[in-house]
Structure 1
Amino acid sequence: MTTTMTSTPSRYPQVYADWRVDPEGFWREAAREIDWVKPAVKVLDADVGVFGSWFVGGECNACYNAVDRHVERGRADQAALIYDSPVTGAKRTYTYAELQDEIATLAAVLQDLGVEKGDRVVLYMPMIPQAVFGMLACARIGAVHSVVFGGFAATELATRLEDATPKVILSASCGIETTRVVAYKPLLDEAIGLSRHKPQACLVFQRPQYRAALVDGRDRDWDEAVSEARATGRRAPCVPVAATDPLYILYTSGTTGRPKGVVRDTGGYLVALKWSMGNLYGVAPGEVYWCASDVGWVVGHSYIVYGPLLHGCTTVLYEGKPVGTPDAGAFWRVVAEHKAVVLFTAPTAFRAIKKEDPEAAHLKHHDLAGFRALFLAGERADPDTVQWAERILGVPIIDHWWQTETGWPIAGNPLGLGALPIKYGSPTVPMPGYEVQVLDEAGKPLPADTMGSIAIKLPLPPGCLPTLWHADDRFREAYLTTYPGYYNTSDAGFIDGDGYLYIMGRTDDIINVAGHRLSTGGMEEVLASHPAVAECAVIGVRDSLKGEVPCGLVVLKSGIARAPTEIEAELVGLVREKIGPVAAFKLAITVGRLPKTRSGKILRGTMKKIADGDTWSVPATIDDPAILDEIGDALKGRGLGG
């Protein structure tokens, strides 16, 4: 099904064609939106790096572009950062001038602790302004930051410390969840004890909910150190770095054992993010942009911190949940109160809101008159959730697709260029810089509407990872060797006759039922269309006869009074009707909740291992490990997992 958002023709086809004709010219023009200390000698140098490097010879500074230039050019008193924390009741707005002062002062503290250009700094922080200050303070002095999601297990943090070898760690005493305080500092101390690499210093921000003990000779109190620097007038200037120098390292979610550190180079990232803010998200400098993610994830790096600030927007830093802080109207309150024109969040968040408040009763209490669009990414946006959001909000609901590795969207509906018609289930079309193809197992392009592996022709555009941290060979092996000349996304899907891309799941989410390759994502679409279903996941379960058979796990909406077995029978019939007997879909199981990462991705792979009776471990990124026991009990009740 297709819906049209505007009668004005989109400029996208011409813009994408312009990039195809002259890729280097396209990015040269886009780079004019960034302030350079020294312009690039070459826009793309194919002989530098693993597959080529962008803006070789150029020098710039990410913090200057995100903060200082706005102070110098009339935005000093504009709100830059709005901190909104329903879990603590705290709110604070920082202007661009205040943000600059906080960052420059903290950067001076880092220099006092011995941090120099090229050194690594790990951040283990909750969603508080100091996390943003820390990231930008590192960028200001040319240090490489690596944010590890606050509350990660000590063993996982230790592996990242060993890989990044930070000189300094920035942390907070605790994080605040909806029902508990999570003490970070003991986890940090344990991680340092486990790690073979020891930092020279830790700077610890003490929160009133939990005050941590500091280790003599290693730990410094954040407020005391910043106050001393401010009292003596120490403020670090911006340090020029090469466009090809790393800005940050971000470890991919789900990594266990040896971490996989995605490197983000500086110049190309700034250019790509700045282009995306106006052309894809359709926001203007001075407007309020809210990305309801976390700085521990790539979405938080790109669209809480760097992207909005590069563009001169006001960005919202939200320490809360879509439901439970205090209710399912939390998002509407934030949008209305801060006058956000765009919200970017995960489909999981909206499924949670829909489950708790299916009629959107909370929305009636908030004025969203200035709200223009909702963007979804991180997990496949099922058509039922998209249509529900369309109905209650009356604005474009835009699914878009990208990865930690790419740093910014691969495909989307470019609101700023004039939106294209929406096709439910599709993140629409590739952005300039991305030549996306669907390949067969031999690496040959497949015809339209044919399922295959999704790959991006090299070179990757600016903003994407140039390599993995100190692991060029591993980068080639993980991403570039499966299909020579292409970056392998490890996602599966197809492109239709209009050029719209459909992401049907990870390649390991394509199941083989008696020789038929079937998408679990397609079955999930059918299950989600049932009026009683809030969210769902389909996994392939090992079967001696057919190889694999699908199993659907579904969470029902709040207030559903019907018997689960009755709904399960309807779901089996619905899949048989919509997809056909070939799917061999005979098992739907209602569960209380689905296991997810903290970024909202459903842990289908782990559930499959449980269902197959294979050895499994609790993923480092899981939001609540107890859910896996509940899933195991539900599967055993149907004869699986034994």
Structure 2
Amino acid sequence: MSYPYQINSFEEYQKVYKESVENPEAFWASVAENFVWKKKWDKVLDWNFTEPKNEWFKGGKLNITENCLDRHLAERGNVPAIIWESNDPNEKQRILTYSILHKRVCQFAQVLINNGVQKGDRVCVYMGMIPELAIAILACARIGAIHSVIFGGFSAQSIADRLYDAQSEFIITCDGAFRGGKDIPLKSVIDDALIGNRTVRKVIVYTRTRTPISMIKGRDVWWEDEMRHVEEMGIREIDAVEMDAEDPLFILYTSGSTGKPKGVVHACAGYMVYTNYTFVNIFNYQPG
């Protein structure tokens, strides 16, 4: 696909920058027109720095996964969406096309639903750098759940703090992860973080390192078993839930200068438009 908002020269950059400063609403409306909306916005920007309260694409309805996945299927279904290379040169490369990724995201979205996840629920994601991480967060976004990715090097206490703050009821993790030459025991760290926790209802575990772990009956389930069940149900597609432009998409925790982690909340529409715009221009992205 082509990007009409891609900047191709320094002169064009200067012109575009001037437009964005002098008339930001018209500028960002022209960019946002290139995305898939379930309902167009009523107002591009409603800002108030006193409260502070800033709303982008107010009244708009969308689902970010339709823009990440569905709109590419007709013409780019067999094009790679994710090319994954292991840190271990002996491990096989994995390529997921848009069609395969779309199917996996829909199936895992059904897994989340089967395990009680609903729109607005907070889901903690504590995984290694594998395609399933992308599948997990896209599946959350597909059904309107709010994901919070936690860095795989954080301690049990750091995870516990974030789980408590976000009031997460669900966790997606792996038995372990490979980082450089190390084997990180992710699930056992999660188990430590959950000592005394009364809010987490389900822990979904993906098999990565085959590290021996404990699974608590009724709480912990295997990713592979859940996906197999969904495959048996015949699920290949699931509708993307309609989200308001200002609905939360994800929470990203900073370490916090006060020692207490601070959750930065990103909303659906503004994040989608700005992230894509900056990606296309900063990396001068060309299809293929």
- TM-score, structure 1 normalization: 0.42
Q: 1:223 to 1:184 in 2, by over 3 A?
A: same
2:109 alignment partner in structure 1: 107
Name the aligned partner's letter for residue 213 of structure 1: S
With a CA cutoff of 8 Å and minimum separation of 6, indicate the structure with the bigger relative contact order. Answer: 2
Q: 1:10 to 1:53 in 2, by over 3 A?
A: same
Residue 278 of structure 1, CA deviation: 2.6
Tell me the SS of whatever aligns to 2:45.
Answer: strand
Name the aligned partner's letter for residue 61 of structure 1: N
Q: 1:211 to 1:93 in 2, by over 3 A?
A: farther
1:17 alignment partner in structure 2: 18
Query: Retained in 1: the 8 A contact 2:156–2:190?
Result: yes
Find the partner of 1:95 among 73, 94, 97: 97
2:70 alignment partner in structure 1: 68
Residue 256 of structure 1, CA deviation: 6.7
Find the partner of 1:162 among 149, 161, 164: 164
Residue 254 of structure 1, CA deviation: 5.6
Residue 255 of structure 1, CA deviation: 6.0
Q: Deviations along 1:179-215, whole A, 9 cap, x unmatched? A: 22111111101101144x4311010012244142211
1:546 alignment partner in structure 2: none
Name the aligned partner's letter for residue 132 of structure 1: A
1:124 is aligned to 2:126 = yes
Q: Deviations along 1:32-67, whole A, 9 cap, x unmatched? A: 121100111110123697232111100110111101
Q: Deviations along 1:475-534, whole A, 9 cap, x unmatched? A: xxxxxxxxxxxxxxxxxxxxxxxxxxxxxxxxxxxxxxxxxxxxxxxxxxxxxxxxxxxx
Q: Indicate the percent of aligned positions where both proteins have the same amino acid.
A: 36
- How many angstroms apart in 2 are the aligned matches of 1:160 and 1:105? 27
Query: Retained in 1: the 8 A contact 2:143–2:241?
Result: yes
Residue 170 of structure 1, CA deviation: 0.3
Query: Retained in 2: the 8 A contact 1:156–1:256?
Result: no
- How many angstroms apart in 2 are the aligned matches of 1:180 and 1:20? 48
Q: 1:258 to 1:208 in 2, by over 3 A?
A: closer
- How many angstroms apart in 2 are the aligned matches of 1:163 and 1:252? 12
Q: Deviations along 1:120-179, whole A, 9 cap, x unmatched? A: 100010001111100000000011000001131000000000011112100000011222
Tell me the SS of whatever aligns to 2:83.
Answer: strand
In structure 2, runs of 5+ residues without a counterpart are 1-8
Tell me the SS of whatever aligns to 2:194.
Answer: helix
Q: 1:256 to 1:171 in 2, by over 3 A?
A: farther
Query: Retained in 2: the 8 A contact 1:46–1:52?
Result: yes
Aligned length: 277
Root-mean-square deviation over aligned CA pairs? 1.8
1:32 alignment partner in structure 2: 33
In structure 1, runs of 5+ residues without a counterpart are 1-7, 288-642
- How many angstroms apart in 2 are the aligned matches of 1:246 and 1:210? 35
Tell me the SS of whatever aligns to 2:93.
Answer: strand
1:238 alignment partner in structure 2: 240
- How many angstroms apart in 2 are the aligned matches of 1:216 and 1:256? 38
Residue 94 of structure 1, CA deviation: 0.3
1:182 is aligned to 2:184 = yes
- How many angstroms apart in 1 are the aligned matches of 2:76 and 2:247? 28
Query: Retained in 2: the 8 A contact 1:158–1:191?
Result: yes
Query: Retained in 2: the 8 A contact 1:155–1:194?
Result: no
1:220 is aligned to 2:221 = yes
After TM superposition, list the pairs within 5 Å mapping 1:145-156 onto structure 2. Answer: 145-156=147-158
- How many angstroms apart in 2 are the aligned matches of 1:126 and 1:175? 5
Name the aligned partner's letter for residue 275 of structure 1: Y
1:275 alignment partner in structure 2: 277
Residue 90 of structure 1, CA deviation: 3.3
Q: Deviations along 1:256-290, whole A, 9 cap, x unmatched? A: 74320000011011111221233332112x33xxx
Tell me the SS of whatever aligns to 1:230.
Answer: helix
2:6 alignment partner in structure 1: none
2:253 alignment partner in structure 1: 251
After TM superposition, list the pairs within 5 Å mapping 1:349-388 onto structure 2. Answer: none
Q: 1:168 to 1:256 in 2, by over 3 A?
A: farther
Residue 99 of structure 1, CA deviation: 0.2
Tell me the SS of whatever aligns to 1:85.
Answer: coil
* Structure index of larger Rg: 1
